[in-house]
Structure 1
Amino acid sequence: MVFASVPKAVGLVYALAGILALAYLWHTGRFSRRKGLPILAVTALLGFLIFSPVAPYQFQLLVLRDVAGLGAPVLLVAVGLAVMLGLALLFGRIFCGHFCPVGALQEIAAHLSPKKVGRTQKKVSMAVRGGVFLAFFAAGLLFSFNLLGALGVHDLFHLALGVPAAIFLGILALSAFVYRPFCRFICPYGALLAVASSESLYRFVRTDLCIECGRCERACPVDEAKKTDAKAECYMCGRCVEVCPAEGALHYARR
C-alpha cells in the first residue's frame, strides 16, 4: 500500500510543522486530548501510505547504513532526526505522542480499554528499553541485523503479512492493556527522545492553583504527573489536563 512515488520528506515536514503547532496550541490552552484524535488518525494513515515519518525505523536504517532503504538522502534523514531530537529538548515528546505512526497506532489502541497494567513500572520500562537500546546497536553495527524489521515494523505498514507483521500486530493489540509497549520497552529512538525530554524547556507544570487532589497522577498512564517527575516518559497525551478539576492548575509552560 505504501506509495514509493511520494517523497519521504513529506512525512518529515508534516512532523516538524505539527510539533511546532501543537507546542503553541498546548501553551495557549487551545488543544486537548479529544482534538488530538484526528491527528493520530492522519499520522497512522501516513505510515501506511508513505511509511513516514516512522522515525524509529529510519533511525534503524541509519545504523545499518542502508541508503537504499531510507528512500531519501542520508544527510536529510540524519538532520531531520537530529532536529526532532532538538525539538524534544525544547517541547517534550510531542513527536512520540502524536506524529510517529508507531506511537499513533498504539495511542489509538489504548482507547479500547481504560484500564492498563504496569502503569507505575516506569523504572522497569526504562531499564528494559536501555537494554534493548544496547542490543539494537550491537545487532546493527556488529551483525547488520535489522531488529525493528524482525519485529515487523516495516512489514505491517507495507501490508506484507507474515510472522514479523504478526509480531508487531501483537504489540499493537497489547497496547489496549499495556500503555505504549513498543515506545516504553523497545523503541531505540524513543530512548534518545526520553533523555532530551527529561531536560525539556516546556512541559506540563502545576501552578499555584493546584489543589493537590492527585487526579492527574492517577490518570497518567506512565506515572509522570508528580511534581518531581522528570517527564522523560511523558507522551503529551493530555490525560492529566483532561481530569484536572481546578482550571489553570495544570498548564503546558516553560518550567
Structure 2
Amino acid sequence: MPAPTTNKDTLQRNRLLTRSGFFLLFLLAPVLNIFRYDLTETHFILFGFPLSFNLDLDWVSHSAPAEVAGQILVWFVLPITVLVPLVLWVAWKWGRIYCGWLCPHFSVVETINHLMTRITGRPTLWEALKKGRRGKFIHWTGLTLVCGLIGFSWALALLSYLLPPIPLYTDLITGNLAFYPSVFLAVASTVFTLDFLFARHLFCKYGCAFGVVQSIAWMTNGRGRLVTFDTARAAACRDCTRACDEACPMRLPTRSHKRAKFTCTQCLQCVSACREVQKDNPEGSLLHWEPGQPNRQTVLIPVHQLDTAPRKGRT
C-alpha cells in the first residue's frame, strides 16, 4: 500500500525552481559569456574563453597531420563521445525529463496553457473551439500581447547566442540595429508568437527532434521511470472528472500504457493532480512515478466501466 500523501505537495514547487533557474540560465548565458557562438569571431565561447578546438589556421598549415588529428580527437571527438551517451542514458532511464524539468520552451507551454485555461476553460485553442468556448476579445488581446512579448524575448535571446550580446542590446535600445539582425528578430518573433499561440504543445510532440530522441531512448527501456496507474483501485476514479488528463500539458491519456505516452515529459502534473483529488484518501494517489515493469502495462479503464455492481430494476 502506498504511503498517504500530505496535502502539501512539493513536487511542482521543485519543478518550478528547476525550470525558473534554467530559464534564467537560458537568457543570461550569452550575456555572462557562459556559452555562445560568436559569428563575428567565428568560434564558440565557453565560460568566457574562446573555444576554437585549438585549430588555428596558421598552426594547422605548419603542423603534421598526426598533430592536427590529435587536437581534433581531444577537443572535438572525445567530448562528443562522452556527452552524447550521457544524454541518451539519462533519457533511457527518465525519458523526457529535460523537457519537463528544464526546457525553456516547455515552461512557456505551461504558462500559456494556464492563461488559456483562465480565458476559455481549456488549455489549448483547439479544445476551446471544439467546446464552443471563445472567451472575451479583451482577454485574447492580452494573451496575444503576452505571446508576442515572450516570442520577441526568445528571438532576442537566440540572437544573443550568435552576436555579442551587449552591443546587440545597445544597438536595439538606441535604434541602430543593423538590417539582418532586424530581419531575424522580426521573423523569429513572428514564428515564436504563432507557435506559442497555436501550436506550442504540438511542437513539443512532433517538431522537437531532441524530444523525439529522448522518447525513443526511453521507449527502449522497459524499466524506465514512468507514470503508472494503480488499476486495482480504479474504482476511486469514479468521482473524479479526469483531473489527471486535464492537468497534462501534452494532452496525453495519463492512465494509459507507455506507448500512448510516447511524448510524456515527466512533468508529473498528472501525479500532482491525482494527489490533490485523493488527498483525503488514506491510500493516497492512484498515479505514481516509478520504474516500469517490462511484463506489465498500465491500461486505461474508462470510468463508465468501473461500476460493476448490478443495477436494481425500476419499481
Deviation at 1:178, TM superposition (A): 3.9
Match of 2:229 in 1: 206
Match of 1:116 in 2: 124
CA distance in 1, matches of 2:272, 2:198: 20
1:252 partnered with 2:278? no
> Under a length normalisation based on structure 1, what TM-score does the superposition of the two structures give?
0.57
Deviation at 1:252, TM superposition (A): 0.5
Match of 2:158 in 1: 154
Cα 1:106–1:170 shift into 2, 3 Å: farther
Matches within 5 A, 1:110-189: 110-114=113-117, 115-117=123-125, 154-155=158-159, 162-173=182-193, 174-175=195-196, 178-189=199-210
Find the residue that maps to 2:184 and give its secondary structure. Answer: helix
Deviation at 1:197, TM superposition (A): 2.8
Unaligned runs of 5+ in 2: 1-7, 31-35, 52-74, 118-122, 128-154, 169-180, 279-283, 293-315
Deviations 1:102-158 (A, max 9, x none): 433444444332221457xxxxxxxxxxxxxxxxxxxxxxxxxxxxxxx88732666
CA distance in 1, matches of 2:200, 2:255: 18
Cα 1:239–1:163 shift into 2, 3 Å: farther
CA distance in 1, matches of 2:112, 2:250: 16
Select the residue among 234, 243, 256 that pairs with 1:227.
256
Deviation at 1:219, TM superposition (A): 2.8
Q: Given residue 95 of structure 2, which amino acid in structure 1 is its aligned partner?
A: G
Cα 1:105–1:155 shift into 2, 3 Å: farther
Deviates more, 1:199-208 or 1:166-175: 166-175
Deviations 1:183-233 (A, max 9, x none): 233222222112123345111111233434433223323233132242321
Find the residue that maps to 2:233 and give its secondary structure. Answer: coil
Select the residue among 35, 40, 43 that pairs with 1:68.
43
Match of 1:216 in 2: 244
CA distance in 2, matches of 1:197, 1:167: 35
Q: Are the counterparts in 1 of residues 96 and 265 from structure 2 also a CA contact under 8 Å?
A: yes
Q: Which has the larger radius of gyration?
A: 2
Q: Are the counterparts in 2 of residues 110 and 180 from structure 1 also a CA contact under 8 Å?
A: no
Cα 1:209–1:169 shift into 2, 3 Å: farther
Q: Are the counterparts in 2 of residues 116 and 179 from structure 1 also a CA contact under 8 Å?
A: no
1:36 partnered with 2:38? no
Q: Given residue 183 of structure 1, which amino acid in structure 2 is its aligned partner?
A: C
Cα 1:112–1:227 shift into 2, 3 Å: same
**RMSD of aligned Cα (Å):** 3.7
Find the residue that maps to 1:47 and give its secondary structure. Answer: helix
Deviates more, 1:76-85 or 1:91-100: 76-85
Q: Given residue 38 of structure 1, which amino acid in structure 2 is its aligned partner?
A: L
Q: Given residue 158 of structure 2, which amino acid in structure 1 is its aligned partner?
A: H
Identity rate of aligned residues, in percent?
Answer: 22
